[in-house]
Every structure is written in C-alpha cells, then in structure tokens.
A = this chain, B = another copy of it.
C-alpha cells in the first residue's frame, strides 16, 4: 500500500479529532469481572435481522479496496466468509456486486452479506440498484445517511491522492454527483426518501450513520428501518462528531430494544468488540483494520486477521465469565484512563 493509498484509507476529516476519539473511546472503557466463574463453553453465534450467524461482526462497507490489494473486495469478502464474519459491500466497490455475492454465498460458515447503497442519481436509480443487489442474493440494504457531502481529507491532499484513470466502479447507479454545492445538496438523501425506499423494499433496511438519539427514536417510531448502525463514518466526513463508543449508550436507550443496533468506528481489537456488545450493541463493523490486513497479504491476510480476532474474542469472553456475547451485558464496565 503506497503512501497515497494509506492517506486515503487511514485519514479522516479536519483535524482527525473524531478519528482519534473513536479509537481512544474504546480504550477508555475498562471492566471489573468476577473471578472463578469461567464458562465451560463459549458460543459466539449471534442473531441479526432474524437469522443466526456464526459471529457478531461484519466488514464495514469501504470503497476502492482494490487500492489496497488486487484481490480487492472479492478477496476480503471471501476470506471473511470463510472465517464466519459478515460483509457489507460498498456501492463504490471495484468488483461487480454479483461476483462478490456468488463467491460468498457458497460458503457454509459465512456471516451475513449486505449491500451498502449510496443515493447517487435519482430515486429510480437507487431503486434499480437495490433490486440488483436483492437479485444477487444480498440479505439487507445498508443506507448511509451521514455523508451527503464528502471531500478529500488534508492527508489525501498532502499525499496527492487521486483515483487512477479508468478506475472500475461497476456498481455506481449513475454518474457520481459533481459540481456546485447546490447540485450536491439537491441530491442529498432526506427523511422522505428513506420512507419512500422503505415502502418499496422487500429486503431489510439498515440505516448507517446514526448518532443522535432523536434520530434513532424517529427511525423506531416511524418504522423507517430494521436496524441502525451507530457510526460517524470512521471520522471521515465531519470532524467534531462524538466517538461512537460515547454516542452508543444514548442511542441504545432511545431504541430501547425495538431495533437491532450495530456500531462501528475505531474498533481495533477483539476486546473493543466485547466492550461494544457489553454496552448493548448487537454486532460491530470493522473498517480500517480489515483494509490493513488485506493490504498486507490479500485474502490470506484477512483470514488470518479474523482468526486471531475470533480467538481473542472468545478468550476475552471466557476471562469475563461470559458464555455468550449476550452475557457480556452484565459485566461491570468502568472508566479507564491511559
């Protein structure tokens, strides 16, 4: 992975305060387990959107994985499936969504396979793309609601990052919106668009990028989605957003068990995932660490990454005296300074 690609994958918006806060927030959570209560077995399988899956984690949707390694989204998805991890394919993937679905769905021990939708073009464009994903076998549509605008980060600008010419974007529903701010604002997704998509869609709808408890409450009250992902887009869109570990509890309180709640942002080791579940999340998404594993060794790197993650996750559960992810909810959490 060259310096420009690293700037693209690892950087964040503004002064990267949110980016750093994401990571630090998980570390600032500690625990006070009971001793002599080790479970005899640890079962980490998890129910998401009504189905049972081998693990409570998925790869977060990330654009342009080909920049990290030629095996790209196909390699990352396949390796994750083999290791029981779910996968969310980005609209901006460099592989046709059908190719990824074909490879993953055959895997017997795989996790969920979801498609992330960016609302490029008009409503009918999104609709066609969602249908295409459904036909290919994706099991949910993930609508990203926190990124109506995006622009290059300071790191990317400094590193001179740009997509190579003729870069493959086989899933883009229409030309990406360009031009003035007003054009961009005109294309932005709004609540009525979500309601419109929700009514037409057969697949479960997952809203990604919720931080404010009032937004979470609205989604539940008006049945605008089946699940939501507490996310600040990995600190890539607007700096100054709270760390997701910090925002999660209020969202969970607002949802109050009415929807499935996932979280992403700054999770760097299996213990962070345990903390997210202990706070009450149903599952987590992992972004940049997967890119780094992919960049290092393609699909093999990703498989190795998830294997270690799973081992550490199970061991951590055992040390906390928990036989399942759900039992982590009764672990005493404490603030921790470093």
Is A315 at the interface (CB under 8 A from chain B)? yes
A221 at the interface (CB under 8 A from B): no
A146: CB under 8 A from chain B? yes
Residues A185 and B38 in contact in the complex (CB < 8 Å), given A14-B271, A338-B17: yes
Residues of B within 8 A of A189 (CB): 36, 38
| Chain A interface (Cβ < 8 Å from any Cβ of B) | 14-15, 17-18, 20-21, 27, 29-42, 145-146, 148-149, 151, 181-182, 185-186, 188-191, 193-194, 209-212, 214-215, 237-242, 247, 269, 271, 275, 311, 314-316, 318-320, 332, 334, 336-338
Q: Which residue of B lies closest to A224 (CB)?
A: B36
- B215 close to A315 (CB less than 8 A): no
Q: Which of A146, A239, A275 has the most CB of B within 10 A?
A: A239
A182 to chain B: closest residue by CB: B41
- Give every chain B residue within 8 A of A151 (Cβ-Cβ): 315
Pick from A15, A18, A36, A332 the residue with the most CB of B within 10 Å.
A36
Residues of B within 8 A of A34 (CB): 212, 214-215
Q: Is A318 a contact of B242 with CB atoms below 8 Å?
A: no
Q: Is the CB of A37 within 8 A of B190?
A: yes
Determine the distance from Cα of A33 to Cα of B211 in the docked complex, in whole angstroms.
8
A40 to B186, Cβ gap below 8 A?
yes
Q: Complex Cα distance A12/B332, Å?
A: 22
Q: Which residues of chain B come closer than 8 Å to A17, judged between CB atoms?
A: 27, 30, 336, 338
| A311 CA to B332 CA, complexed, in Å | 40
Assembled-state Cα–Cα distance A190/B182 (Å): 50
Q: Is the CB of A30 within 8 A of B181?
A: no
Residues of B near A211 (CB, < 8 A) are 32-33, 35
**Is B215 within 8 A of A36, CB to CB?**
yes
Q: How many copies does the complex hold?
A: 4
**Does A332 contact B212, Cβ atoms closer than 8 Å?**
yes
Q: Are B33 and A145 in contact (CB-based, < 8 A)?
A: no
Q: How far is the CA of A31 from the CA of B191 in the complex (A)?
A: 20
Distance A177 CA – B38 CA, assembled complex (angstroms): 15
Separation in Å of the A214 CB from the closest CB of chain B? 7
Cβ-neighbour of A334 out of B15, B190, B242 (below 8 A):
B242
A30 touches B240 (CB 8 A): yes
> Could you tell me the distance in whole angstroms from the C-beta of A334 to the nearest C-beta in chain B?
6
Contact B185 A40 (CB under 8 A): yes
Contacts of A338 in B (CB 8 A): 15, 17, 20-21
Are B36 and A191 in contact (CB-based, < 8 A)?
yes
A to B CB contacts below 8 Å, 13 in the list? A21-B337, A33-B238, A35-B145, A35-B210, A35-B211, A37-B190, A37-B191, A38-B189, A40-B182, A40-B186, A148-B318, A181-B315, A212-B332
